[in-house]
Every structure is written in C-alpha cells, then in structure tokens.
Amino acid sequence: MAAAALARFTEQLDLLVRARYPLVYVVTHEEGRLERLLRELARRQGKPFYTWTATGGLASGAVSEAAGTPRFAPPAEILERIRIQEGGGIFLLRDLHAHFDDPLVIRRLRDLVAALADTHRTVIVSAPRLALPAELEKDVTVVDLPLPEPDELRDALRALLVELGAGKPEAVQISRDDIELFVRAAQGLTLAEAESAFARAAVTGGALRSEDVALVIEEKRQAIRKSGILEFHPAQAELADVGGLLRLKDWLRRRGKALDGGAREFGLPMPKGVLLLGAPGCGKSLSAKVVANTWRLPLLHLDLGRIFSGLLGSSEENMRRALRIAEGVAPAVLWIDEIEKGLAGGGGRSGENDGGTAQRVFGSLLTWMSEQQAGVFVVATANRIDSLPPELLRRGRFDEVFFVDLPDPFAREEIFRIHLRRRGREPEAFDLEALVEKCAGFSGAEIEHCVLEGLFAAFDEGRELSIEDLVRAAAETTPLSVTCAEELERMRTWATTRARAADAPRRGPGNPAGSVPPARPRSTPPRGPRSSRV
C-alpha cells in the first residue's frame, strides 16, 4: 500500500507540474526526501531546479543574480523575481508558510499564481503542517508526501548493514527474516527517524540483533507521542482477559483471518472496523486492546479532545495528521474511545457554536473511514447511543455494530475468575455461584471493583481474602444498572433492531432464559435484506 501511495504522489506531482499548476503546497516533515523527488522530476522534464529557505536564501544564484536580487532578499522580493523570471523551472520554497502573516507575501503569491498560469514555472511550498490563509485557499493545490514505503526503509537498513559489516562483520547478527521485522517496526517513521532508530539499535550492545527490533518500536512510540494527537499503546490483553462477549470474539477471529493476503485473492476486502456500543465498564475499551494483541498489530489511540485543542493548530489539520500517521503505521488498529464525546456536534447539533469546525472534522473522518485502503482497522466505542450522528452508523463506515450489554451470570463468573487469578487467588477457593448471584446487574468494571475492595479490607486487617469480603463489597456497591436503569433500557431497546449482541445468550441453572438480547429481532429472518440495520 505504501509503495502505491508514493507512486501516486509522484505521478500526481508530475501531472501538476506538466499541467502548469503554478502553486502547490506539500505537507511533509521530510524536506530532504521531497527535494530528491523534485530534483528527479525536474531532471526528467528538463527544467532547472531551485530551492529557497529564509536562512539559506536562494540555493541557485542563477535567478537572483540575473534579476539583480540578492540571494538573501526578503520572501516578497524572491516571489516577485520568480514572477518576472523568463523560462521554466521548479522552485522549492521551504517553510514559506511562516511568512503568511505578511500581507505583501500574500499579495505577491496571488500575483504569482496569475502570472505563472501560462508558463512552465511551478512553485512548490513545503511545510510540516497545512497553514493556508483564506486569500490563498482557491489558488493552492495541497498534496501530502506519504511516509517512506517498505522498500525505502529496507534500502536504508541494508545500507547500514553494509557499513557495519565492512568495518566489523560480527556487528551484524540478523537474518533476512529479521530485516523484515525491522522494516515493519519502522513503518510510520520518517526516513530520517528510521535511519536514526536503526543506528541506535546497532550501537546498543555493539551489534545489531533481532531483539533490537524493540528499540525501533520504542522510537516509533516516541515519534507518535510527539505528534500530540495519537498515542502508541502496548497491546497486552488476550482474549482470555475478556469475560463473555462470545459473538464479538468469534467475529473478531473471522475478521482476523481476512487480514491475510489470500483473502484479497478470495475476493474479500480489508476489514475496516467495528463500533462497540453499550454501558460503561463492560469491556469495550479492553476489546480494542485485545484486537491489536490478537492480530499482532500496533494499537494507536486517537484522543478526539486533542484534535479540537487550539494549542495544536487547526482541528482539521490535526485530524489529517492523525489519519496520515495511522496510515503510515498500517496495518494497525486505531482505537477511538467514547467517540460520541468528540463528534456528537459533527452531525449538525453544535456547528453553529464552533463555526462548523466539528462538522468539517467529522466529515473528514467519515470520508477517510469509507475510502482508506491502507489497512487501518478502526475500533470505536460509545456509551451514549443517542449522541451519535446517524452518518456514523450507516453501513460502509464500520463492518459491524455491536451492542455490549451487562454480563450475564456465565460472563460474571468468567470475570470473577479473571480478576481473582490476576491477583494471585485461585477462583475455586471461593463460592463463585454465590458471588455471581450477589453481583446481578454488575458491569465488569464493578466486579473488578468488588475484588479490589475485598483485597483492601483483607489487607487492612492482616488476613487472607475471604468470600465475606467480596460479598460485603458487592453489597456496598450501587451498580450502574440501578443508577442509570432508564438509560440502559433505552440502549437495549435501540440495539434490538440496530446492532448485534456482543454476547450469546447461554442457558443454565442460573440463567434459564438468557439475559442478553438476541443478535437479530425475532421478527427478522436470519438471511435476506438488512435494511432494518443502521
């Protein structure tokens, strides 16, 4: 996918230059990599190539000297000389966006756009973020330089291996398969970041070994963290850490098999994502971590609150950056927790209060979810169904919508077993049937709370945990099913015809009828049109 993205970028840039587009804005941190691509493009088209920075001036003196303009002339003067210069050329202006607060620069750029429309001169502005004044929005074409493709990362690593092997052969202790692990770990980094990560791994311990791939992953975690929007989460949860949710687990198992390349040949698309709705504390967020760990994919957490933070620049650009990073790391799992809190206004409820920012951010996310082919699997969770915009729920955004209800007796027993074992206790030492009955209507988080409260009480009195501690903790806990009974019932009613139940009803002595809503309404046949589903 990455190779195709770079090929599309190169082809697009070539077309824009040949079609005489006067002004192109390239969003990238990789100035050197962009310059190499543009130099090659200029060579193929037989055009001179020039670069400019505020500190280095015009790199080639041909234009400035011929026009009588000093190399370190102000940006407005450089733009004017490009406008009156004869002949063709490609001009790379780095960080020109930093001068957009100068009205003269804006005016000269607008004059330049009009003057270059029928010439063979193209101005390329490169910057790490999109910062366009309103005056230029209709005159500029914006493109994004994709992150390095695996072939580029592989070449960089092999160059390092050749250098290491030439001076000290024993410094290279990785196999051909290890090279692919390093390349995959570096996906999502810029070329400079990847080269630094490889070099760091090589000097650590005096040799490059397969276990040093962890250092590359740590470098990627730091790079993603520096974005200020995404977080790289360690995915350590296993399926066994989730009690119940049988249908969801089975669905994830089948979708995980579709990640294999053979699924494309079979006619299956890449899985897009899943939306998990339901009561808080029932395992929705934990399921996102389970997906990433089970599929052996990196887990990225998108904080929508940071998207709308004014400290990071425009909200629209923050979303674009986050999605670009996710695609660069792909295949990956993108976890959007409590999506309704960040995007509830995007459906039109609050657009009047923020100038339409939420609508634009929401729209860009929806478009990306429908069209992205990079292999990013989105796991979104929501606690309040009525706050979700209807556009988010329609088919095509997610592969499936699951409703996560409170655990039934079987799931409650599994959850007790999980938390007791996690804290070094044997579940068989406790009367689990009594605990399950005492905790009817409890969420998984509330069951964990009971275990912890029981442990605190036992530790305070200097003795071992007993079932009485757990029963007392349960009696002192008011579950969400009581405090928010009406809201929970509304969610169940909504989910009856609009979502699949995440758990399967199981019959038994403590659950004769099953407490989980059916996966489909009883009046809906198991096959056929699914128009009743959102």
Residue type, 379: V
User: pLDDT for 233-291, tens place per residue?
Assistant: 776 777 788 888 999 999 998 888 887 768 888 888 888 899 999 888 888 888 888 88
User: pLDDT for 92-130, tens place per residue?
Assistant: 999 999 999 999 999 999 999 999 988 999 999 999 988
pLDDT at 148: 87
Say what the pTM is: 0.72
pLDDT classification of 344: cutoffs 50, 70, 90: low
pLDDT at 520: 36
Question: What is the mean predicted confidence (pLDDT) over 409-423?
Answer: 94
What is the DSSP code (8-state) at residue 57? E
pLDDT of residue 75 exceeding 50, the answer is yes
What is the DSSP code (8-state) at residue 156? H
Q: Which residue has tokens 């193929």?
A: 44
CB neighbours of residue 171 within 10 Å: 18
Cβ-based neighbours of 134, under 8 Å, separated by 6 or more:
none
Question: What is the mean predicted confidence (pLDDT) over 60-85?
Answer: 71
pLDDT of residue 349 exceeding 80, the answer is no
pLDDT of residue 203 exceeding 90, the answer is no
In 3D, which of 390, 314, 312 has the Cα closest to residue 355?
A: 314
Q: Give CA–CA dist 445/443, Å, rounded.
A: 5
The helix-helix angle for 357-371 and 315-329 (nearest 10°) equals 20
Residue type, 8: R
Domains and their CATH numbers in the chain: 2-144 (3.40.50.300), 150-226 (1.10.8), 239-404 (3.40.50.300), 406-534 (1.10.8.60)
pLDDT at 499: 87
pLDDT of residue 512 exceeding 60, the answer is no
Full DSSP string of 69-132:
--TT--HHHHHHHHHH--S-EEEEEETGGGGTT-HHHHHHHHHHHHHHTTSSEEEEEEESS---
Q: Give CA–CA dist 5/19, Å, rounded.
A: 21
Report how far apart the first and last C-alpha atoms of the chain are (Å, whole number): 30
Q: Are 123 and 13 in contact (CB under 8 A)?
A: no
pLDDT classification of 379: cutoffs 50, 70, 90: very high
**Which pair of structure tokens corresponds to residue 419?**
């938390």
What is the DSSP code (8-state) at residue 395? B
pLDDT of residue 25 exceeding 90, the answer is yes
pLDDT of residue 171 exceeding 80, the answer is no
Q: Are 505 and 407 in contact (CB under 8 A)?
A: no
In 3D, which of 290, 315, 291, 317 has the Cα closest to residue 304?
A: 315
**Which pair of structure tokens corresponds to residue 485?**
């009974």
Question: What is the mean predicted confidence (pLDDT) over 41-47?
Answer: 93
Q: How much is the mean pLDDT over the chain?
A: 83
Q: Are 504 and 470 in contact (CB under 8 A)?
A: no
Residue 279: left (phi > 0), alpha (psi -120 to 50), or beta?
beta
pLDDT at 165: 77
* Phi, psi of 152, deg, nearest 5: -65, -40
pLDDT of residue 523 exceeding 80, the answer is no
Question: What is the mean predicted confidence (pLDDT) over 475-488?
Answer: 91
User: What is the bridge-based pairing of β-strands 332-336 and 400-404?
Assistant: unpaired
User: pLDDT for 204-214, tens place per residue?
Assistant: 877 788 888 88
pLDDT classification of 131: cutoffs 50, 70, 90: confident
Question: What is the mean predicted confidence (pLDDT) over 384-401?
Answer: 81
Burial 285-323 (b: 16+ CB within 10 A, else e): bbbbbbbbbbbebbbbbbbbebbbeeebebbebbbbbbb
pLDDT at 516: 44
**H or E element that contains 52:** strand 49-53
pLDDT at 507: 60
Question: What is the mean predicted confidence (pLDDT) over 351-368?
Answer: 73
In 3D, which of 470, 409, 489, 468 has the Cα closest to residue 441?
A: 409
* Phi, psi of 288, deg, nearest 5: -60, -40
Considering only 18-32, 139-153, 166-180, 429-443, which range has the smallest mean pLDDT?
166-180
**H or E element that contains 247:** helix 246-257
pLDDT at 366: 86
pLDDT classification of 531: cutoffs 50, 70, 90: very low
pLDDT of residue 355 exceeding 50, the answer is yes
pLDDT of residue 350 exceeding 60, the answer is no
pLDDT classification of 46: cutoffs 50, 70, 90: very high
